[in-house]
Structure 1
Amino acid sequence: MLQISKLNAWYGASHALQDISLEVARGEIVCLIGRNGAGKTTTLKSIMGLMDRTRGSVIFKGKELLQQPAHIRFALGLAYVPEERRIVQGLSVRENLRLGLVASAEKKREAELIGEIAMIFPRLAERMDQEAVTMSGGEQQMLAIARAMIAKPDLIMLDEPSEGIMPVLVDEMFELFRSMKAQGTTVLLVEQNVELALDIADRAYVLDQGAVVHQASAQDLLADDEIKERYCSV
């Protein structure tokens, strides 16, 4: 579904990504792991078209997207949940969900899709008319994921979804990811909790200083204490 080849990205003069290559097949959960500053978030932003300067190839469902703006990538079925969530202050949970459909062909099914989201996220169902920013951090993260899911993307990219969230909600969130995979959703995941991420993933890529330094099945990486210690501690 997604094929990245020799992807480079820059922040000003800083060469942040150096020839990143990776693949995500339909229905997979693939993790990007590595220390802070390794280039994981920059990789997701580059795939989504949110970096000013990039070079290489981003092929999604057979189409080259490198020169396409983010809204075109979204319309083609690519979704991104950034680390900072971007919940809109002053809007209710329901209104934030509706924002996920603004540029979607699914907009005419708004009521039906919000109903489906309410079934998947019972915590949000109880808070539909509550101002979204008054919820807990974990509930806001669920809303950010739900807002991306509501437009039925083919691939969803998640950046550090468990950061700053109570353990009980983290467990609930990762059960959701298992359910998404079982229903055929394709996921590219950046996650600080390496063992939890690898436990639900099919494969993983290890990044260090803007480059892929290792790739393997998730189970092989779970068993490799040296790789985890060397590249995955914060």
Structure 2
Amino acid sequence: MSPTTSLSKNTSLHITNLQAWYGPSHILQGLDLCVQEGELLAILGRNGAGKTTTLKAIMGLVPKVQGSVVYGGQELLARPAHQRFRYGLGYVPEERRIVPGLTVLENLQLGLAAIPGQYKQAERIEEIAQTFPRLKERFKQTASTMSGGEQQMLAIARALMSNPKLILLDEPSEGIMPKLVDEMFTLFTELRQQGKTVVLVEQNVALALEIADRAVIIDNGAVVHRASAAELLADQEMQDRYCAV
């Protein structure tokens, strides 16, 4: 295992000895991870390795956790999930969680529910509409009638409503047509260029490494490899060992 990245003044997120359980199942087993401010970090590994649980633990969505998750100098583990959004975290879960009975616009408005009063809703919706013109055309449409790719775009747009500094993305390309995947990954690059910190869990290894700055591989609930994205992209043996489906 590579040594843990040292904490610096540019560290956005610092995770130390993170343990997580679902019932008797011990999923995360001493995970250590640092994310630098303004970088795009890819988290890779096989299904069941603990990638999704890592994101959920950061967001306070795992029932039993131990260790340390420090974001912006604040220890998060003792804080409820809704407070974590207020610190500037955004989260797009693997299952999207679009509210089926609501319109596209109403789903977007939910993105500000956890941080009331911080933004003028109409102005923020207009800003999001400029980034996602496809969604603007569908504001009055029931969200559940859109395609899977459009629903994924809506989930990302909803997470961006609160203008997070750090956004966690869980398998955004899963089940999406290639054209929309390309649009999404272009957006992720733009978010990084705007100064946001992005953590991307992705099964499409090559696609993730093409846009990431660094990558970590998780196996059996712990980080087993760290490298620059370019180094890992060139290391087919490491990809085959830990990332092959």
Q: TM-score, normalised by structure 2?
A: 0.94
The CA deviation at 1:105 is: 4.5
Note if 1:189 corresponds to 2:200: yes
Structure 1 residues 47-126: aligned runs within 5 Å: 47-105=58-116, 108-126=119-137
Map Cα deviations across residues 35-75 of structure 1 (whole Å, 9 max, x no partner).
Answer: 00000000000011111110000000001111111001111
The CA deviation at 1:26 is: 1.1
In structure 2, C-alpha distance between the alignment counterparts of 1:106 and 1:156, rounded to whole Å = 21
In structure 1, C-alpha distance between the alignment counterparts of 2:49 and 2:134, rounded to whole Å = 34
SS in 1 for 2:15: strand
In structure 2, C-alpha distance between the alignment counterparts of 1:141 and 1:93, rounded to whole Å = 12
Runs of 4+ deviating beyond 4 Å: 105-108
1:180 partner amino acid: L
In structure 2, C-alpha distance between the alignment counterparts of 1:148 and 1:79, rounded to whole Å = 5
In structure 2, C-alpha distance between the alignment counterparts of 1:79 and 1:181, rounded to whole Å = 14
In structure 1, which of residues 27, 31, 36 is the aligned counterpart of residue 42 of structure 2? Answer: 31
- Runs of 5+ consecutive residues of structure 2 not aligned to the other structure: 1-11
The question of whether the paired residues in 2 share the 8 Å contact of 1:106 and 1:151 is answered with no
SS in 1 for 2:120: helix
In structure 2, do the counterparts of structure 1 residues 130 and 107 end up closer, same or farther at CA, with 3 Å as the change threshold?
farther
In structure 1, C-alpha distance between the alignment counterparts of 2:34 and 2:59, rounded to whole Å = 15
In structure 2, do the counterparts of structure 1 residues 69 and 92 end up closer, same or farther at CA, with 3 Å as the change threshold?
same
2:92 partner amino acid: V
In structure 1, C-alpha distance between the alignment counterparts of 2:214 and 2:116, rounded to whole Å = 31
Structure 1 residues 125-164: aligned runs within 5 Å: 125-164=136-175
- The Cα RMSD (Å) is 0.9
SS in 2 for 1:50: coil
Count of paired positions: 234
In structure 2, C-alpha distance between the alignment counterparts of 1:118 and 1:169, rounded to whole Å = 17
In structure 2, which of residues 40, 49, 55 is the aligned counterpart of residue 44 of structure 1? Answer: 55
Note if 1:14 corresponds to 2:49: no
In structure 2, C-alpha distance between the alignment counterparts of 1:84 and 1:146, rounded to whole Å = 15
The question of whether the paired residues in 2 share the 8 Å contact of 1:32 and 1:40 is answered with yes
Note if 1:205 corresponds to 2:195: no
In structure 2, C-alpha distance between the alignment counterparts of 1:185 and 1:141, rounded to whole Å = 19
The question of whether the paired residues in 2 share the 8 Å contact of 1:204 and 1:215 is answered with yes
The CA deviation at 1:94 is: 0.5
2:38 partner amino acid: G
SS in 2 for 1:100: helix
Q: TM-score, normalised by structure 1?
A: 0.98
Q: Percent identity?
A: 64
The CA deviation at 1:12 is: 1.2
Note if 1:219 corresponds to 2:218: no
The CA deviation at 1:125 is: 1.1
SS in 1 for 2:90: strand
In structure 2, C-alpha distance between the alignment counterparts of 1:10 and 1:86, rounded to whole Å = 23
In structure 2, C-alpha distance between the alignment counterparts of 1:107 and 1:26, rounded to whole Å = 23
The CA deviation at 1:106 is: 5.2
